[in-house]
Amino acid sequence: MSSLRLLLVQVLLLLLLVELGWTLVSDEEWAQYKAKYNKHYKYKDNFHRAIYDRRVQVIADHNQRYSQGLEAFKMGISQYSDTDQSTLYSYRTSITPPTEEVTKGVKEPANYKHYDEITGGIDWRDYGYISEVGNQGTQCLSCWAFSSSGVIEAHLAKKNGKLVPLSPKHFVDCVPYPNQGCNLGWVSIAFNYVRQFGTATKASFPYQPKKDECHWDPKNSAGTIRGHVTLTEGDEKELAEVVYNIGPVAVSIDHLHEEFDLYFGGILKIPSCGSTKDDLTHSVLVVGFGTHPKWGDYWLIKNSFGTSWGESGYFKLARNANNMCGVATLPQYPLV
């Protein structure tokens, strides 16, 4: 039985148990969860409660193994704990990944260290180049706008010595097709837009999880880019070199897995993750990397699920683990 069919059977069984009043989660606990994350279900309350109820048990079972040192990451409750994210993608128009040639001839900065020369790791948050974690919302697939604005603002901050948070909402409203606002998009399309029209500050375009009409005057631009670089597909050593020597890199991953929804800290490993371009569903920002004494190498990644998810909005993903979840499949950064 496929994992999707098994999940459906489990949810149907739990729906029956909910109807019969046989649940792990009390009415009070369910009400508290919905209030905390501002959830309102007029017709599908029992459906989402069934998912939540099952995941409470999944979390408990997993964390028992984590406490015994058998798992590299722990799980916890988040705004996604009552939602199967794959259903959000099932009815969205598919956007084919753009054809991106590997960028050649990029000049290496002074004192560039190659992979074998790098000891330890790096965390660009320590340099003041990374803005606060945002929250795209559970119904707006605008991750591409957050990673695009995040990587551009980081490189501009590194160049100018001052961090000016940029606006994901500007990108949601204004970056044209094939990007589709809250219905997915690609970082490179946003890069091309900024090269031509510039970008707005976060303060001037506050985020809302919806797409509105574009109202933008390039004269108000807070910055622009000269172009962007696409790294070699699947080369984690090259990705680490660039992150270490040049700065954060926007990447896309396969995130439609329960382990990702429930991640709460540690080094994430998902054996069923895909790594082809067609598997990529979620855009995020690599801000560093390091090595854990027991669990090995990891990427340090900024997400856009708010600070109550993961490690205050960040996650560590297994590095040098056969391109885990496609982290090195389509890495890109802007030229500023």
Looking at the chain, the whole-number percentage of residues with pLDDT higher than 90 is 78
d(CA 34, CA 49): 10
Helix (DSSP H) and strand (DSSP E) numbers for the chain: 9, 9
**Is-catalytic flag, 143?**
yes
- According to the model, what pLDDT value does residue 5 have? 55
Average pLDDT over residues 265-275: 96
Average pLDDT over residues 79-97: 73
Average pLDDT over residues 243-265: 96
**21 pLDDT exceeds 90?**
no
- According to the model, what pLDDT value does residue 1 have? 47
- According to the model, what pLDDT value does residue 92 have? 53
Least confident segment among 38-52, 84-98, 167-181, 262-276: 84-98
Higher local confidence (pLDDT), 15 or 239: 239
Comparing CA positions, the residue from 211, 205, 115 lying closest to residue 153 is: 205
- According to the model, what pLDDT value does residue 87 have? 74
Q: What is the pLDDT of residues 286-332, one digit of tens each?
A: 999 999 999 999 999 999 999 999 999 999 999 999 999 999 999 99
- According to the model, what pLDDT value does residue 15 have? 45
Q: How far is CA 107 from CA 147, 165, 224, 227, 331, in A?
A: 24, 27, 20, 14, 17
Cα-to-chain-centroid distance, residue 190: 16
- According to the model, what pLDDT value does residue 14 have? 46
- According to the model, what pLDDT value does residue 12 have? 52
d(CA 165, CA 142): 17
Q: What is the pLDDT of residues 39-57, one digit of tens each?
A: 988 888 999 999 999 999 9
Query: Catalytic: which of 179, 192, 303, 323?
Result: 303
Confidence of residue 152 (pLDDT cuts 50, 70, 90): very high
Q: Which residues contact 89 (CB under 8 A, 6 or more apart)?
A: 141, 184, 256, 281
Average pLDDT over residues 144-165: 97
Confidence of residue 105 (pLDDT cuts 50, 70, 90): confident
Superfamily of domain 87-335: Cysteine proteinases (3.90.70.10)
- According to the model, what pLDDT value does residue 85 have? 82
- According to the model, what pLDDT value does residue 95 have? 64
Domain ranges of the chain: 3-71, 87-335
Q: What is the pLDDT of residues 133-147, one digit of tens each?
A: 999 998 899 999 999
Question: Residue 5, CB half-sphere, CA atoms under 13 Å: how many?
Answer: 2
Q: How far is CA 34 from CA 38, 323, 336, in A?
A: 6, 36, 43
What is the bridge-based pairing of β-strands 227-230 and 263-268? unpaired
- According to the model, what pLDDT value does residue 99 have? 79
Least confident segment among 214-223, 232-241, 308-317, 327-336: 214-223
Query: Catalytic: which of 140, 143, 273, 325?
Result: 143
**Is-catalytic flag, 303?**
yes
Confidence of residue 86 (pLDDT cuts 50, 70, 90): confident
